[in-house]
Structure 1
């Protein structure tokens, strides 16, 4: 992989942890991982230490689904 991927995430992009729609792309030195908002929050302390770039579109949850979409469960 070369450079930083800036393409918007689509409904076809799925979380590598659970298969839900991905809203975060984590670019690593040897590839990338996609996460739903829940798993991005859960794993952020780990991936932020090694990521070369984090493309976060979680604000789309509020735009698309309203204020309750980002609430912790």
Structure 2
């Protein structure tokens, strides 16, 4: 039996990470259920929001960022 749970979402004041896709300032960081983490700029976070929620155990979002997955 498979149970789908939503990842925990935390809002942080400011992120210092860079996007793992393009190097821009990160607006969202994902802690993966399989271990490790990834950071995304606003563009890539919104573009891949459906996939992010599938693989995340925790999502950190910079305060003020409007994420499509929320």
TM-score (ref. length: structure 2): 0.66
Shift of 1:26: 0.5
Q: Which runs of 4+ in 1 moved over 2 A?
A: none
Unpaired stretches in structure 2, ≥5 consecutive residues: 1-7
Aligned residues: 55
TM-score (ref. length: structure 1): 0.64
Greater per-residue strand proportion:
2
Greater per-residue helix proportion:
1
Which aligned pairs between 1:25-64 and structure 2 lie closer than 5 A?
25-29=29-33, 30-57=35-62, 59=64
**Which is greater in Rg?**
1
Unpaired stretches in structure 1, ≥5 consecutive residues: 62-73
RMSD: 2.4
Which residue number in structure 1 is paired with residue 23 of structure 2? 19
Paired with 1:31 and 1:9, the residues of 2 have a C-alpha distance of 17
Question: Over residues 39-73 of structure 1, what are the superposed CA-to-partner deviations in whole Å (9 max), with x where a residue is unaligned?
Answer: 00001100101200110116169xxxxxxxxxxxx
